[in-house]
Structure 1
């Protein structure tokens, strides 16, 4: 890990820790917010804050093409990826959801391969080991799933990973954090519209749900999503998507710490396997191979 550039390491730690903690925050927020309004307002608020801050610093307004590309990525990642996940959670158990999400690096590898960037042997080992560890970690839960829920989860993973690869390989977003802000604005607006069309509404708003929503805006979206998009521009697809293995581990640790949950031998072994897979991925290679028009030329720290 010490061989990684410091900003890459910071982004990895942010995605690992922050997105791992959002499981609990979403659980609390859903007591007051319906799913699409929760996701839509969360990303729209984060996008407005980041966009306003960047404009105050003199950042250039995105071009029409940059807005278009941000819209494509935002709808795929946030609108379809998170939107379909919200739909699926009504029909699929948490254990099955964890397994589908853990398949993200595998799907990511396949999409990247179609663009000419297949993982190395070391990365394949890390990807498969991480998936096995995630399945083992989720194995103590229920794996019930209705067909519509399984299809929605499969679509969510496919859209999230395809949008990630497009942002890394083909689409030209606005430079630096302005690209992240424009994605959240478009994706959040899309989710908000879907929620309103579905007739969602906030009936009661308690203090705990409001605090969880604020955490999702600041930590989950502003910090976590921006860190993820930065990783897409700097590291290999396998390493960028390794959060899918680490986040359940963070969720388990928080559950033991904050919710008096128990940690058995099965979970301990699974977490050790996941840790080994992440070590393999972090030592494999630092950056993706050039293929098509890469976002790396257009993304920098802001």
Structure 2
């Protein structure tokens, strides 16, 4: 007889993937105003990776992997973290955290289109509606005059879209790649090597490094929260939920994260929420809902199960 799921743990896990993942945009925005983006991201992921290795050893989990698995974790670490997250952190210097979260919420749409282009997967009728709504929502989001009038914002929007492509292709790559079977170990390697590549990028671009004791208190707190909660706790919660509740319920984080990010950015950073952004968000998230309906969840859930390797 199987053990009944712990209701309290389920509630706490949902709180983690809703609030913590949604708040990482605010935390990155706070930290990147003071720290160079690649330095910030490299410290976060290298530290998180090392902590995961330590926790794994304490839990008696083997860290041994094959050369093929190692190679694939490095590729995944680049797609998800080095490029996918590092460039988002860089772009947050030029765009609001809530805007970035909204643009990134289009990821299910991009994954679906890439599955069609690369694998020839048939797009279900409900998903076609979702794609159309998603395109309309993204267009309304990025076509706002106050954004187009700022050259730096346009660059930020373009780079975030490139990150979308990287995250989405990474999802498809991970679904096929030979990787460590233990998701905790898998994530640890991806974070560690993704962080190493960000470290190298930081030195290549000549970023000026500083010691944590010289950072302001808000930045120190943001970094700790990003490492402990954004990189470890939320990911563990995500994978716990995948084993405990239905995938479509877990996928609701796709709808909630942008709302949390917009609200926190508005409250703490006085980021402007325009009427057009609200309309764009409603249309875009409705499109994501259609993509994640039960008719397509069988296809998409296999990728949702892999996306835990890349959440930040």
TM-score range, shorter chain: 0.7 to 0.9
Structure 2: segments with no counterpart, 5+ residues? 1-6
Give distance in 2, aligned partners of 1:173 and 1:211: 32
TM-score in terms of structure 1 length: 0.75
Give distance in 1, aligned partners of 2:72 and 2:99: 32
| Conserved 8 A contact 2:91-2:157 | yes
| Conserved 8 A contact 2:77-2:191 | yes
Aligned match for 1:188, one of 190, 195, 216: 195
Structure 1: segments with no counterpart, 5+ residues? 1-5
Aligned match for 2:290, one of 280, 283, 300: 280
Aligned match for 1:106, one of 101, 106, 109: 109
Give distance in 2, aligned partners of 1:157 and 1:274: 15
The structure carrying a bigger helix percent of its residues is 2
Aligned match for 2:31, one of 29, 34, 40: 29
Give distance in 2, aligned partners of 1:75 and 1:43: 12
Give distance in 1, aligned partners of 2:158 and 2:284: 26
- Provide closer, same or farther for how the CA distance between residues 69 and 260 of structure 1 changes in structure 2, counting only shifts above 3 A: closer
Equivalence for 1:47: 49
TM-score in terms of structure 2 length: 0.73
- Provide closer, same or farther for how the CA distance between residues 42 and 206 of structure 1 changes in structure 2, counting only shifts above 3 A: same
User: How far apart are 1:212 and its partner, in Å?
Assistant: 0.6
Give distance in 2, aligned partners of 1:264 and 1:290: 33
User: How far apart are 1:73 and its partner, in Å?
Assistant: 0.4
Give distance in 1, aligned partners of 2:127 and 2:11: 18
Aligned match for 2:179, one of 158, 172, 181: 172
Aligned match for 1:115, one of 100, 114, 119: 119
Say which SS state the counterpart of residue 202 (structure 1) adopts.
Answer: coil
1:1-302 superposed matches below 5 A = 14-64=16-66, 65-88=68-91, 93-94=95-96, 101-113=104-116, 114-136=118-140, 139=144, 141-143=146-148, 144-145=150-151, 152-203=159-210, 204-225=214-235, 243=254, 246-259=256-269, 265-284=275-294, 285-288=296-299
Give distance in 2, aligned partners of 1:212 and 1:264: 26
- Provide closer, same or farther for how the CA distance between residues 175 and 72 of structure 1 changes in structure 2, counting only shifts above 3 A: same
| Conserved 8 A contact 1:24-1:251 | yes
Output one character per residue of 1:256-298: Cα deviation in whole Å (capped at 9) or x when no partner.
Answer: 444566766545444443453344344324433799xx988xx
Output one character per residue of 1:69-119: Cα deviation in whole Å (capped at 9) or x when no partner.
Answer: 1111001111122233345556x6449856753543333123222224344
User: How far apart are 1:51 and its partner, in Å?
Assistant: 1.7
How many aligned residue pairs are there? 287
